Structures are given as C-alpha cells and as structure tokens.
Amino acid sequence: MVVIDNSKYEEAFACLENVEGNGRIRISPDMFMEARNIIVEHGYAIAVNEAGEDEIVFVWKDTTYLHGYVYSGGVDMWFLNQYQCIFLRGCNEYSVELCLGALKLWEGKKIVFVGNEWRYLIELLPEIDGKECLWEDTLDTDGAKEIAGDLKYIDVTSDLPYEEKMDRYYENRMTYDEVMTFTFLFSDKRNLGSMNPDKDFFVVDASYGNLGLFGIYHKAISLARYAKKKGFIPVMCIKNEYGEQSLYQDFQGDDLWGKFYNQPEKYELSEVLKSRNVFFPPFTYNARILQTIMDEYSKGNTLTWPKGLYNNRVQQYLEEKEKAFLPYPDKTLGVLARGTDYVGTHLANHPIHASMGMVGDKIDQFLKEWGLEYVFIATEDAAYCEYYKDRFGEKAFFTDQKRYSTRPGEMLAQMHRRSEDKENGFQLGVDYILAIYLLSKCNSFMASGDCTGVSEAKRMNEGKYQHFFVFDLGRNTVTT
C-alpha cells in the first residue's frame, strides 16, 4: 500500500535526483496509483503542488492485500453496508480509492477523514452525494464514539492483520486490507471463452506462503464457501503468484492445490479457464478475523466434493502406507508432537507447545490410564523423533518421512528455501497428510498444543476417539 511519509524527504530527494522525470507527479486523487509504479522501481515517489514545489513523499507500506484497479466485476458493498459511519484513518492508497469508487455506492450516512495528511486531497476528492463528511486532524477512540453517536460505525486503520483474536473486530476496528478484500474480492471479471455462459466462477487463490498444508486448506475452503454463498462456483488454484513461495510449491506459480486435492464442485479448472464469466481475486490473505467473518457469513453452506477430498495420487499413497505404519490402530495412542516452527520461533499469539519431556510423560500416563499398548508419533522434528525412539522403543511407530532441524527463530518454510537437500512439494505435503490421516485412525489422541493438525485429525476421526487431550499452555505474547 502506498502511504505518505514526509519524514523520508531527504532520502527520496537523493534517490530520485537522477531519475528521468525526477520521480515527480502532480497532487491529484490519482497520485497514489501513479506513485506506485515509481516506487516499484525506485523506492520513493514525490508529488508536487501547483507551483511545482515538492510537497508529498510516498513510500510503500507492507500489506496483505494488493489492489488491482480492475472493476469489470463491480464492487461488493455487503460488508461496508452494515455500518452507517466510517472512519478512514490516514490518507493512503486504499482510503482514497474507497472514496473514489466504493463509497459512492455505500448506504451509510457519515464519513470521517482522520489524519493531517488528508489536507493534501480533501478539497480535490469528488463529492459523495448524500453523505456527511468530516475531517479530524487527530481522533481517539472516545472521540470516534462521540462523533458516531447512535450510528453503527467502523474504524479503518493501516495496521497489518495477523492471526489474532476477534477483539479488534468486536471493538469496530478493521484494517484497510480487510475492508478492501471484502469490497473488491470479485472485481476482476474475465471472459476466457464461450463455455458455461450462465455460470459465474470464482478462482480461489490467496497468499499462503509460510502456512502449513492444513492451514492453507482451511483458509482456502473459507474463501470457497464464502464465494459459493455469494452465488459463485468456486474452483481452486492456489498459486501464490505475488506472494512468498510455499514449501509445497516446486516453482513460483506452481498450483499447490492440484497436487493434493480434488475440486470442491463438479467443474474442473481446465473447463473453467475456457468459460465466459470467470472472477479472479486480488492478492490477499484471509487472516483470522477475515476468515472468521467469512465462515460466519457462509454458515450452513457446504461444498459437494463429487470426487472426494484427496486426488487419486494422494489417496493411493495413504492406502499403501497405512498398514505399515499403524498396524494396531485399536491399541494405539496417536500423538502429534510439534517441534520446529512451534518450538524454535515462538510466534506471537500462537499456542505454546509442550516440550519433548512433557509429552513423553503424558504418553506414559495415558498408555497406562487408557489401557493402550502402542504409540504412533507424528512429528516433523528430527530431534523429537530420535528422542521418542529412544524412550519408547518398539512400542512407538513413526512414518518414514524426512525430518528436519531448524535454527532458532527460523520457520520450517524458511529452512526449506535455504536448503539444497529437500523433498519436493508433493512429498512434503503428502507425508504431512499421511501423518494426520494415521492419527485420525488411532484409538485415542493427544497433542503437544493446538494447531491446524489437531483440528484436521479430529475432523477426519469423525468423533470416534475414545480419549482426546491437547496441552493448553497459553499463547506466546511476543515473537522471539
């Protein structure tokens, strides 16, 4: 997202001094979009006033959403129309774009521009008919509540969304990334052929670079169910085109969905890409708040899976490996022991996972209490695997997957990117699927802490576990 930061003037002036055109643009409602192209190449852009004097410095702010400036599919006002008052904090690329387009269709009553930088554009923005517009240089939460009065309001900020609790949403605070995603998710409509002229398809893709496979799956399914509730037929093609490459991708643009899963409805991607009405999403990431709102909106809306969830290659792999690695499922305790990412990085707001020793002690306790003879341990951590092999000997079963050791503070995905000796994307993913699949077949289950693997094992098991335990040690407050 392009934002204003005049404190960077000296750096911007020096950087643009020998650039053709000096990296300058005129102050106008389109200046953020024009500045983006200059920033991509040079890191800064500068806008000048009517006298040709330098007035505004533009820089790039990290974002989980990238606006495409494509409006062939129109805008979706469902989310914003729930509010009668909107606070736009900061004059930036996204707040201005909302003013230029979407808010003309908004059913609300009051727009409040918050921030000193609005002074550059407040007189140049087109009138938004029927809306009361105010400008506040600064405004705290109490002031916003006073201005909103009895009106239901939303306070939009430039913060980055992440895997946080829902508190911010309940306090009427949303990010520009989230608001832009809801508003412009279906704006890019393309005519790719003559097939299915009476159908609207939505290609589900998003930025899921560092997520594990089941994290990707659940977020993609949320997008698919949301699109279906909106009247689209979802088709999956997760390519991360503009984001960080996933460890399950063998090259940039590799479709990681097709490696493991079938399509959730009866249409294949090859047919959709020859159809008349195909909608593509912007670059986006549906973090927890966005995902939860989508899930709530599409509650009761299901996907049909006519060919089943996993593709033939994955299904065959699961069937071939099951008997070798889980010979006595009825007598086995399934254990998910997360190492690597959950132990070495301490990601903020992620569950704290029990140590190797704590998990080992619980295994001893539950084998005795629950009358079980064997333990199947799913772990991606090489040190964990060796520890449990030594501790439990012939009572313990493991898959033959490759296991890893990460550096302190390093994500598993980052380790794979630097490693020359790594599995291909399919093998990494199918081994993870196999581990969770085998956990779901065990008599009982325990885990070192909560994660998407826990919820996926529980979903696959369909309520058949005799016993179920997950360590609850709280959450990390700060990433270390």
261-288 residue pLDDT tens? 999 999 999 999 999 999 999 999 999 9
Strands 2-4 vs 54-60: parallel, antiparallel or unpaired = antiparallel
**What DSSP designation does 195 have?**
B
The last residue of one of the domains, among 184, 203, 226, is 184
Give domain status of residue 314, yes or no: no
Say if residue 222 is in the same domain as residue 167. no
CATH number of the domain to which 427 belongs = 3.40.50.11350
Say if residue 348 is in the same domain as residue 461. yes
pLDDT tens, residue by residue, 206-251: 999 888 899 999 999 999 999 999 999 999 999 988 778 898 999 8
Q: Which residues of the chain have pLDDT under 70?
A: 339-350, 405-422, 476-480
> How many independent structural domains does the chain possess?
4
Say if residue 212 is in the same domain as residue 282. yes
β-strand partners of 279: 189, 202
The last residue of one of the domains, among 168, 184, 200, is 184
Strands (E), 271-414: 278-280, 332-336, 374-378, 396-397
Domain of 274, in residue numbers: 188-297
Tell me the average pLDDT of the chain. 92
Say if residue 173 is in the same domain as residue 242. no
Say if residue 325 is in the same domain as residue 263. no
pLDDT tens, residue by residue, 105-126: 999 999 999 999 999 999 999 9
Say if residue 335 is in the same domain as residue 444. yes
Say if residue 174 is in the same domain as residue 194. no
Q: What's the pTM value of the predicted model, to 2 decimals?
A: 0.90
Sign of the C-alpha dihedral, residues 98, 290, 230, 278?
positive
Say if residue 55 is in the same domain as residue 84. no
Distance of CA 32 to the CA centre of its chain: 25
Say if residue 148 is in the same domain as residue 52. no
For residue 410, what are the contacts with CB-CB under 8 A and spacing of at least 6? 344, 345
